[in-house]
Amino acid sequence: MPDIRGAKDLVDFILERYSGKVVEVGVGKATEVSAELSQTLDLMATDLVGGQENGLGIVGDDIFSPRKELYKGASLIYAIRPPLELQLAMGRLAQEIGAEVIVRPLADEVAKLSGFQRSLINRGQARFYLFTPLTEYSTS
């Protein structure tokens, strides 16, 4: 996993926290994380154009107009270096299906997702943001 700094640390975090179905949005050519997760989890990698990348099957879907049935049952939607617009679309979809969101930004471009609490996670060499639904922390 040489291309994404801290990829192994991100993988370890996801494997410790989630089971079942997880979704990587906008996988592109950076398949280090998704390829590793697909060996243990029910991973679905998506991009605007489906196909194969480094042996990983990619489902074609547009996160701005998602086929929601593809994401049903996912506990996590994550993306590596997504632009702000993509992060906002991920947040809307995650809120609808009841999933958490992880954003591994390129720099400091991180959205505020409505309905989520944002936490910076420093895990080994990985730096990423975890968005958890606010309803989980409600005391009323």
- What's 93's domain CATH number? 3.40.50.150
Q: What is the pLDDT of residue 106?
A: 82
At residue 1, does pLDDT exceed 50?
Answer: no
2 located within any domain: no
Residue 16 within a domain:
yes
Q: What is the pTM of this model?
A: 0.91
pLDDT at 137 over 50: no
Would you say residue 31 lies in a domain? Answer: yes
| Domain membership flag for residue 130 | yes
Q: Number of structural domains, the chain?
A: 1
Residue 96 in any domain: the answer is: yes
Q: Is 63 helix (H, G, I), strand (E, B) or coil?
A: coil
Establish if 73 belongs to a structural domain.
Answer: yes
CA distances from 49 to 18, 46, 62 (A): 26, 8, 8
Report how far residue 30's alpha carbon sits from residue 1's, in angstroms, rounded to the nearest whole number: 9
**Tens-digit pLDDT profile for residues 36-77:** 999 999 999 999 999 998 889 999 999 999 999 999 999 999
Answer whether residue 28 is part of any domain: yes
Assess if residue 1 is contained within a domain.
Answer: no
Q: Which of 115, 84, 81, 79 is closest to 97 using CA atoms?
A: 115
Q: Which domain holds residue 23?
A: 7-137
